[in-house]
Amino acid sequence: MLKRLFLTLILSSVIWFSSCAQKSQSTADQIEKSTEQQTAVVEQVQQQKNELEKLQEENQQLQAQLQKLQEEKEELEKQKAQLAEIQKYQNVKAENLQSAQCEINPELGVPLNPPQAKPGECFAIGYLPSQYKYEKVKVLIDAGGEKVVTTPPKYKVVPKKVLVKEESKKIVVIPPVYKTVTEKVLVRPATTKKVVVKPAKYKWVTEKVLVEPAKKVWKRGRSFLTHAVATRFDPNTGDILCLVEVPPKYKYIKKKVMVEPPVVKEVPVPPVYKTITKKVLVKPAQTKEVVIPAVYKTVYVKELVEPAKVQKIKIPPKYDYVTKRVKVKDEQFLWVKVLCKDNMTTDTIVKLQKALKSKGYYRGPIDGIYGPLTQEAVVNFQKDNNIPITPGAVTLRTLQLLGIN
């Protein structure tokens, strides 16, 4: 009975001293937390200062990017106007190539027949695109205004001695004493396992597998008429299309098939034991009281020297000169003399291709064929030399400038 009472008193003392130690630890944690918060404030102010400098650098970069974007915008406007002119020319080219017998639209401002036409002369309607010039105009880029500059506050760091942990007492636990003993334990009980006495038997068999079913395919040429199921005429190429039956496709594969299953029997498996080592208590744990002296710490506290300042700075407006595209002359349609089809011989086209190639307009073969590459080279030459553009025809002025008689 006395022994139990003595143990109860010891345990209550341990609980009381543990409570005191926890309170002291809580006070020390609060002081340390306050110190960390002050340090965090210092770091936050420094971080704000760095961010302010970074924002100023980014502002300068954005101003440079704005200037670059303005120049790119002007270049895109020029390209857009050029593309609109090319599209207009292509539309006129498509209308002229629709039919050789089409009527001329009176809205174009040209007569229905070429004026002062003589026998043996050939004419075509040429297109002169609009002419432009570029002028420099002063435009407002930035309206200006006010910029707010914030000067961060100034601090100084001073040392301060603070109590981190008050004097306290703690209960030191003397660990218990153990000894090591060995013991045999069952790891796996007795079981049975299946053993294959006679393995299974297999054989290889060949099987026919469909790869592609029979189908019907349209083929071009008269050679398929004898096997055709149906025929039709292609108006674009003038060929005869035949619907031909294509037989199915097969392939042979080999696969393994079980002929006789395996023979299996059960065999007993004895149990498995293991010798383990474990600790046995020899002497229980004990406690003793120890005095812990107070702990102080020198911390550095940040004190305000000069508060933050806000200053407004006036920013003047910014102007720049941009190049503006102004129309000088409207587009024009007119009758022009062209080389007649009878004179468009292979020799003449070869001379034309060589002359265009020497001036860097033609990059195709010298074949004497007035194809798309040659037509494109002629149109580009006419545009660069302010000659009326005649898709599908060559003006006499074009031949004259190229030195072709």
For residue 14, the model assigns a pLDDT of 39
CA distances (Å), origin 393, targets 100, 126, 301, 325, 338:
12, 10, 91, 31, 6
For residue 141, the model assigns a pLDDT of 76
Average pLDDT, rounded, for the chain: 78
Which among 166, 169, 167 has a CA at the least distance from the CA of 287?
169
Contact 297, 240 (CB under 8 A): no
For residue 232, the model assigns a pLDDT of 83
Candidate from 146-150, 294-298, 365-369 with smallest mean pLDDT: 146-150
- What percentage of the chain exceeds 70 in pLDDT? 84
For residue 28, the model assigns a pLDDT of 55
- What percentage of the chain exceeds 90 in pLDDT? 6
In this structure, what token pair is assigned to residue 124?
Answer: 């075509």
For residue 110, the model assigns a pLDDT of 66
Average pLDDT over residues 129-153: 78
For residue 172, the model assigns a pLDDT of 83
For residue 108, the model assigns a pLDDT of 58
For residue 109, the model assigns a pLDDT of 62
Average pLDDT over residues 145-160: 82
What own/partner pairs with CB < 8 Å and gap ≥ 24 does 352-359 have?
Answer: 352/378, 352/394, 352/399, 352/402, 352/404, 353/377, 355/402, 355/403, 355/404, 356/381, 356/402, 359/402
Give the torsion sign (CA, 79, 85, 91, 97): negative
Q: Where residue 106 falls among pLDDT bands split at 50, 70, 90?
A: low
Kindly state the helix (H) or strand (E) to which residue 102 belongs, with its residue range: none
Distance CA 365, CA 368 (A): 9
Candidate from 105-109, 318-322, 370-374 with smallest mean pLDDT: 105-109
For residue 294, the model assigns a pLDDT of 85
Average pLDDT over residues 255-279: 84
**pLDDT one-digit tens code per residue, 12-57:** 443 443 444 454 456 557 666 766 776 776 687 788 778 878 888 8
For residue 90, the model assigns a pLDDT of 58
Inform me whether the pLDDT recorded for 276 exceeds 50. yes
Q: Model's pTM, two decimal places?
A: 0.33
For residue 2, the model assigns a pLDDT of 42
Average pLDDT over residues 322-329: 79
**pLDDT one-digit tens code per residue, 163-214:** 888 888 888 888 888 888 888 888 788 888 888 778 888 888 888 888 888 8
For residue 379, the model assigns a pLDDT of 92
For residue 157, the model assigns a pLDDT of 83
* Highest averaged pLDDT of the listed ranges 131-140, 225-234, 275-284, 358-367: 358-367
Q: How far does Cα 33 stand from its chain's mean position?
A: 46
